[in-house]
Amino acid sequence: MDEERALYIVRAGEAGAIERVLRDYSDKHRATFKFESTDEDKRKKLCEGIFKVLLKDIPTTCQVSCLEVLRILSRDKKVLVPVTTKENMQILLRLAKLNESDDSLEKVSEFPVIVESLKCLCNIVFNSQMAQQLSLELNLAAKLCNLLRKCKDRKFINDIKCFDLRLLFVLSLLHTDIRSQLRYELQGLPLLTQILESAFSIKWTDEYESAIDRNGPPLSPQETDCAIEALKALFNVTVDSWKVHKEGDSHQFRVMAAVLRHCLLIVGPTEDKTEELHSNAVNLLSNVPVSCLDVLICPLTHEETAPEATMLDELPSDKTAEKETVLKNNTMVYNGMNMEAIHVLLSFMEKRIDKGSSYREGLTPVLSLLTECSRAHRNIRKFLKDQVLPPLRDVTNRPEVGSTVRNKLVRLMTHVDLGVKQIAAEFLFVLCKERVDSLLKYTGYGNAAGLLAARGLLAGGRGDNWYSEDEDTDTEEYKNAKPNINLITGHLEEPMPNPIDEMTEEQKEYEAMKLVNMLDKLSREELLKPMGLKPDGTITPLEEALNQYSVIEETSSDTD
């Protein structure tokens, strides 16, 4: 009934009547996302009628009402099929000031029309394959970049930037060709980075260092939304950027990493918005070549080197487990380097662990990022090792029991999700310089068995990457307890009585044969398969492992 009345007025009424009826329709259906199939034909005709009205010379307020209803109707994919034409797309491009002939954005009264047009385009492009093809034909990505350049330094049109960026994100999400066009032809990387700089009001103090106003206000909701959309668009543009081929690329990625460092050190209007902002920053940092992530840490400034500062590596030996840096401005410092951004990433990771759900989407990106940073940058690895794996003192509890970051990560090593447990184990392994004995000290053999089996290190040793020489960080408490630590569980156990001490030799032999027969039965019924270690440390069926060792022994004998 609503569509029928609106359609009648749109076809025959004047601008004032059209505006009123469409405003009523918009107010009533603002939260509607599912539509009755019985009125589908009427909605199609209403869309067609609205496009015809938009061709006329009507007041701005009427244009906004038309576009609001069109945005609501464009949520229905079936309605879009007949109305998604090149002519109708061009109408929306013109209203959104996306034509090259529109040189400026001076008329403030037109801003609501631009914003509503961009919203309509977002819905239509996302829901219609025909619109996606027409976007390529009309070179929509280039038009969006031109509009961004017109408004990148003007804060009073954040809504326009926000929906321009959202449409860029949708386009680059749906079309891989547009990602390449944005990256190379349209210079999307520096453009979007500048949008972020503008949203954060960054003031550079050095080539890759920005000033942080610790007492400044949080980002406004508009600035936060704009930054989030820019981060999402940048993620698509850089999703394949694992290697840096040119010096210019390296510089641009470092600038972007410095902007992301600034992003991690500021807050949004609410805690949820801050987490969303930091989450998108983490995702984007995962696309930055690891060699460019050194800008996440930087030497201390003059203010940060004040006498009140206590550096992490200068704490007394009896305080190394606490690892809290005390500065007058709360800056985390290690080895003369500002570690604030890394500490924020670590805190973000712990919050995601504490959530207890959606680990694959929410936790693995930050864990992977911290792992790669630790593998490539020594200062980052040493700082994280001190924070996550401080020298052991109390070994009476199992490694997975407790509320420290180490306890939480060890629990993840046996998580049901294979990807989650692999990246958690890998992170701890890298912090231990990929040394098996060091990892087992913090996790126990049982928790680490999956990683060691996958890496062929069940027999011990170390990984393939090179690290600096080890330092003895064992505390006196650990050294005293070490002989009584259960290597499987990784904690101190009271000596247990040996059940075979009071058996006679005949009883021992009987129990041994009983065990052999039980294992043989399980093996023949294929309920259990005996496994052994190959010379390279990987697991294989026992017979194959024995054969390989036999061949090695024969070869050694021949050589002798």
Domain boundaries, the chain: 519-559
Q: Is the pLDDT of residue 72 over 80?
A: yes
Per-residue pLDDT tens digits for 210-233: 998 888 899 999 999 999 999 999
Contacts of 99 (CB under 8 A, 6+ apart): 93, 143
- Give CA–CA dist 510/505, Å, rounded: 9
Confidence label for 368 from pLDDT (cuts 50, 70 and 90): very high
- The pLDDT of residue 375 is 93
- The pLDDT of residue 528 is 81
Per-residue pLDDT tens digits for 95-142: 999 986 666 677 778 889 999 999 999 999 999 999 999 999 999 999
Contacts of 259 (CB under 8 A, 6+ apart): 193, 196, 197, 200, 202, 210
- The pLDDT of residue 162 is 94
Best-predicted range by mean pLDDT (236-240, 307-311, 428-432): 428-432
Over its C-alpha atoms, the chain yields an Rg (Å, rounded) of 31
Higher pLDDT, 242 or 497: 497
Confidence label for 319 from pLDDT (cuts 50, 70 and 90): very low
Could you tell me the CA-to-CA distances from 512 to 521, 522, 543 in Å, in that order? 14, 16, 21
Of the candidate ranges 10-14, 202-206, 292-296, the one whose mean pLDDT is the lowest: 10-14
- Please, what sign has the CA dihedral across residues 204, 209, 213, 218? positive
Contacts of 338 (CB under 8 A, 6+ apart): 297, 298, 299, 300, 301, 304, 331, 332
Work out the average pLDDT over 297-320: 56
Higher pLDDT, 469 or 458: 458
Confidence label for 327 from pLDDT (cuts 50, 70 and 90): very low
Q: Mean pLDDT across the chain, nearest whole number?
A: 86
